[in-house]
Chains A and B, each alone.
Chain A
Amino acid sequence: MIALIDYGAGNLTSVRKGFAAAGADVVTPSSPTDLASVTGIVVPGVGHFASTRALDGPWRQAILEALNRGAFLFGICLGQQWLFEGSDEEPDLAGLGVLRGRCRRLPPTLKVPHVGWNALEMRRPSRLLAGVPPGTQAYFTHSYAADVTDDTVAVTTHAAPFASVVERAQVFGVQFHPEKSGEAGVQMIRNFVAVCSPNA
């Protein structure tokens, strides 16, 4: 079972439809204790990093415990940013910290926010990007993005390169919206669902 966390940041309808297209039903847990039996957790999100304050406390604890017992985690957009140590958008608020690095504002040399379709430059093989051709474009809408680190599997450039897809052990993240990135996006969701499947 895959849980989609509703912490009041964004429209879950689209993400749920994306998972439905990938052949998976997601549940929206009402309490952190509901994460005890899930195999996958999706943290979506749009908007300001301050919204992730709602994930502090019991949710953070339950997500870390789920990771410890082998569950998989998928951060989308703001959800990916939260996987890191923090963001300059809300410097005093810590992220989940399962990935090293910070999120910073995109350089002002081009228009910010970065809105629209941009290419994914694959850096290394990735379970999330299986079957997704290099140079595939995905739909972005954001002003902050994570540093490029060893966990970066794809880079996108808007004035400067940033981590558009990250993957480390059970942790996956994308800065764009796979649920709005056409068939390639649905393929990525399908890949995450497959990773979470106990028989995979």
Chain B
Amino acid sequence: MLSKRLIACLDVRNGCVVKGIQFEGLRNAGDPAALARRYNVEGIDELVILDVTATLESRQALADTIRAVSRELFIPLAVGGGIRAPEDAEAAIDAGADKVSVNSAALTDPSLITRLAGRYGSQAVVVAIDAKRRDGTFAVFSRSGSTAAGRQAVEWAREAEARGAGEILLTSMDRDGTRAGFDCELTAAVSTAVSIPVIASGGAGTFEHFLDVFTTGRADAALAASVFHYSEHAVSELKAFLAERSIPVRRTA
């Protein structure tokens, strides 16, 4: 049976992880490669490296980070943040990324999805959707959530799939950073509307939140950052918790 995936997100700026990393005994806490190694040992299923600044200087550091992580870790690696043009995707993939995540640039020019899928295959193209509840709907926002895109999450996810997206990374802006749980209603609405996998993001705080999003939320994968920093064994403990509740997960020795 296909496992539900747990994906760790590493927010990086100029080659350093920026969200609070509290692992004891990790010598260089800000080193994304060191953190990625730690997650890999714990049994994380996939990694997302998100360049939160996406400046020119940051780009070069990002490529170095991708190279360092992909040289020694043999799990899928997605890269997002500032992928605006095919050249940005090419740089990330050449450095060792398996997937690129596009957000604002795809909203501005949806044909970017098709061009990237045509060149690298749909499996390499993740469309990230930032959605917020507004007037009883799930409205899409772009530019890190600052601009209403004038689209609805379900409709945009369907269009992204039709244009060649391989996965949807769906972030609830209402829940992001709250640790109040994933928006299961939003996730289920999108997940049941498309055939491609939906990765739920935003709001993870407890193990129960993951259980909820994999059942009620119909998510295929769940992404989190800070919740995995709670304890050294958060990933393996979460997998044990989910397995005991009949959620199929990948267990590593």
| A contact set with B: CB distance below 8 Å | 9-11, 13-14, 17-18, 21, 46-48, 108, 110-119, 133, 137, 139, 141-142, 157-158, 179-183, 185-186
What 0/1 pattern do residues 35 to 58 of B give for CB contact below 8 A with A?
A: 000001000010000000000000
CB of A46 within 8 A of CB of B121, answer yes
Shortest CB distance A150–B (Å)? 25
Q: Which of the 9-residue segments B8-16, B92-100, B105-113, B144-152 touches chain A? A: B92-100
Question: Given the complex, which residues of A lie within 8 Å of B122, measured CB to CB?
Answer: 47, 113
Q: How far is the CA of A141 from the CA of B122 in the complex (A)?
A: 10
CB of B74 within 8 A of CB of A118, answer no
* Contacts of B121-148 to chain A: CB distance below 8 A: 121-124
* Contact A111 B196, CB 8 Å, known A116-B221, A117-B3, A158-B2: yes
Q: How far is the CA of A139 from the CA of B93 in the complex (A)?
A: 18
Shortest CB distance B7–A (Å)? 10
CB of A182 within 8 A of CB of B74, answer yes
Shortest CB distance A97–B (Å)? 24
Q: How far is the CA of A113 from the CA of B117 in the complex (A)?
A: 14
CB of A14 within 8 A of CB of B70, answer yes
CB of B93 within 8 A of CB of A118, answer no
Shortest CB distance A174–B (Å)? 14
CB of B96 within 8 A of CB of A115, answer no
CB of B74 within 8 A of CB of A111, answer no
Nearest A-chain residue to B191, judged by Cβ: A111
B220's partner among A111, A180, A183 (CB-CB below 8 A) is: A111
CB of A17 within 8 A of CB of B197, answer no
Question: Given the complex, which residues of A lie within 8 Å of B70, measured CB to CB?
Answer: 13-14, 17
Tally the A-B contacts, defined by beta carbons under 8 Å.
Answer: 91
Chain B at the A interface: SS class: loop
Nearest B-chain residue to A141, judged by Cβ: B123
CB of A181 within 8 A of CB of B121, answer no
Shortest CB distance B118–A (Å)? 9
Nearest A-chain residue to B95, judged by Cβ: A13
Q: How far is the CA of A157 from the CA of B96 in the complex (A)?
A: 29
CB of B94 within 8 A of CB of A46, answer no
Question: Given the complex, which residues of B lie within 8 Å of A179, measured CB to CB?
Answer: 74
Shortest CB distance B169–A (Å)? 13
CB of B98 within 8 A of CB of A14, answer yes
Shortest CB distance A175–B (Å)? 13
Question: Given the complex, which residues of A lie within 8 Å of B40, measured CB to CB?
Answer: 182
Question: Given the complex, which residues of A lie within 8 Å of B72, measured CB to CB?
Answer: 21
Q: Can you list 17 residue pairs at the A/B interface with Cβ under 8 Å?
A: A17-B74, A46-B121, A46-B124, A47-B121, A111-B195, A111-B197, A113-B122, A113-B166, A113-B195, A113-B197, A115-B166, A115-B196, A117-B5, A118-B3, A133-B253, A141-B123, A158-B2
CB of B74 within 8 A of CB of A18, answer yes
CB of B220 within 8 A of CB of A116, answer yes
CB of A17 within 8 A of CB of B2, answer no
Question: Given the complex, which residues of B lie within 8 Å of A117, measured CB to CB?
Answer: 2-3, 5, 45, 250
Nearest B-chain residue to A181, judged by Cβ: B74
Nearest B-chain residue to A48, judged by Cβ: B121
Nearest A-chain residue to B93, judged by Cβ: A11
* Contacts of B158-179 to chain A: CB distance below 8 A: 166-167
Q: How far is the CA of A116 from the CA of B76 in the complex (A)?
A: 9
CB of B74 within 8 A of CB of A137, answer no
B75 located at the interface, meaning its Cβ lies under 8 Å from any Cβ of chain A in the complex: yes
Q: How far is the CA of A181 from the CA of B3 in the complex (A)?
A: 13
Q: How far is the CA of A47 from the CA of B122 in the complex (A)?
A: 7
B19 located at the interface, meaning its Cβ lies under 8 Å from any Cβ of chain A in the complex: no
Q: How far is the CA of A194 from the CA of B5 in the complex (A)?
A: 32
CB of B121 within 8 A of CB of A116, answer no
A180's partner among B3, B4, B75 (CB-CB below 8 A) is: B75
CB of A118 within 8 A of CB of B1, answer yes
CB of A182 within 8 A of CB of B124, answer no
Q: How far is the CA of A13 from the CA of B45 in the complex (A)?
A: 20
B120 located at the interface, meaning its Cβ lies under 8 Å from any Cβ of chain A in the complex: yes
Shortest CB distance A50–B (Å)? 12
Shortest CB distance A155–B (Å)? 13
